[in-house]
Structure 1
Amino acid sequence: MKATISVALVQLFFILPITAALGLAADIEGSRDHPQFKRYEGSEIVKYEHRKYDSLIIPLGKATNSQTLKDSREIEGAITRLTYKIPMGRSPLEVIRNYEKELQANGFKVLFSGQKDALGSYFAEAAGYKEIKWPPNVPGLTLNSDKQIYMAAEKTEPGGSAMVTLYGVENRFWAGNLKNVEKGQTLLHVDIIESKIMEEKMVTVAAEEMAEQISASGSIALYGIYFDTDKSTIKPESTDTLEQIAKLLQDKTDLNLLVVGHTDNVGSFGYNLKLAQDRAGAVVRELGQKYGVQPDRLKPVGVSYACPVSSNRSENGRSKNRRVELVEHTP
């Protein structure tokens, strides 16, 4: 469980020194590079879009048909979408490898990558690139699955995260309406999604309310216990909630509890199972050592992401799944 979060615009945590990247006169009107993400040398912006807040499906697996990916994730936040025309003679592979090197040097982790058949013949369509069109109605990024390459990379820090996806394809046909894209010329599409983790100032659940809900339904979910990212260290701002749990147990002397740790699905099930168990154990130790609760009244349990209360496909849903639950327990 991490702190309850919402998503908003945040500055990316990296700068790619791929080029000096002064604005080029050949760029389409109103377009610009992302402030922290510079272009491949000599390339031109041929499509541009920026949304202050939206969601985007991120491909994380091969396309099985024109509408289905083996794996994907929905990301929310500030979205910048750029399509570049790369100088002639530069292959999609060369361009992507250039970006990959810089991303990894700046702390990004590659989540998925592939090229040609490893992506599937219908990858561009399933990934949504068919919707990026040039007049009169040409989906230029879907024209050549034989020369396609894709990569998704992510960097997460305590204050937020950034996701970058890159799709490179070589134009198979001459098409003047693709802003003078020549046959054999590489197009590179870049999506940058920025999100920020923000602790919500939630009202602490009082001991009396905990007692009422446990009596009525047998359990209560708490979002006021905070941990360091990917750790079981309890943060100081958890004090109010821990005090109320201790008061609950002091008032209800016959009540025993399972302290259940829940996570989202980022990472493997086994990794999250251990993290959830460690966090539940940390809560039990904290209540025993600092608040004098008898250890035999509490049992820590970790369940990984086995019991979600919301979809893990969005950050908002994952934030609801990261929680500690108190469950009435009869030893």
Structure 2
Amino acid sequence: MRALAFALVAVLTFAAAAGAAEEEFTPEFGALEGAELSHFLTRNFDAYKLPVGQFTRDEQPVNVIEGRIREFVYRAEDETSTLEAVRNYQRRFTELGYRTLFECAGDECGGFDFRFNAYLVEPPAMRFDLADFRYLAVEDEARERHASVIASRQGGRLFVQIIAVEGETAPERMTAAGEAPPPRVKPGQARLFALARRLTEQGHAPLDGVAFEAGSAKLTDDSAPVLTQAAELLRARPDLRFFVVGHTDNQGGFDGNLSLSRARAETVATRLAAEEGVQPGQLVPKGVGYLAPRASNATPEGRAENRRVELVLE
């Protein structure tokens, strides 16, 4: 199973790298003879915590470097020791103009604490043995380049991880000053935002989309999403109380419309509490009939606009 897992990781790693330029995964510092690349990853801009000292007193000395980060892990099936591996990389980095910042082995690094504070690629690509590992950190100050090497042996194999960082500033990704793309909202969220804004600015807001069967307090099926969104807002502020106010048009007598508007307000309040999880004490249903129109009752369009239920902040 382990061999199969390793093979799958290797296939996926190389498939991802196949489209990259060859120099992307052929580092300037080369690799040990006979070693195979088991992991490669590029992060175009990120931060890397480069350990530069022994882990002591609950603290790991690090240099935080921002820029382009490349991860390499090599695996060798021979008897190369971790010391031999690190010395070869150290010699190569020195030839390239790097200087050694810190090197250590096993307990000299801080042992268990060092291992769990240093970044390691996940197995099976990288394997690590606390009893047999070495670490090297190098720097090329002139070119703002840093690298770390971790070599460890496990299961008769040598694993070498190299993290190479090229110091860079973050690429410019901002729009021009004063410009920004419009927010992307999920369906229905625009209505929720509008409801919250109107309650904040005006103290009341209609539940647009809530409708009833003609002459009845029975909600239509289309009302459900609106009430669900309103409930989300109400549940977020359980400290606030709201009047749920029913309104009608002027068709029919006043007493009948007053009774109908109250019944519709009670239906909405009951639905919000019973099915949407709003605290019943937050809601006070009231009906005002056609005493507060928001459009003319002289036209069908105006009357439709007047038939509504509103939330009013107490």
**Is TM more than 0.5 here?**
no
TM-score w.r.t. the length of structure 1 is 0.42
**Larger C-alpha radius of gyration, 1 or 2?**
2
More helix by share: 2
Q: Which protein has greater RCO, CA pairs closer than 8 Å, 6+ apart?
A: 1
TM-score w.r.t. the length of structure 2 is 0.45
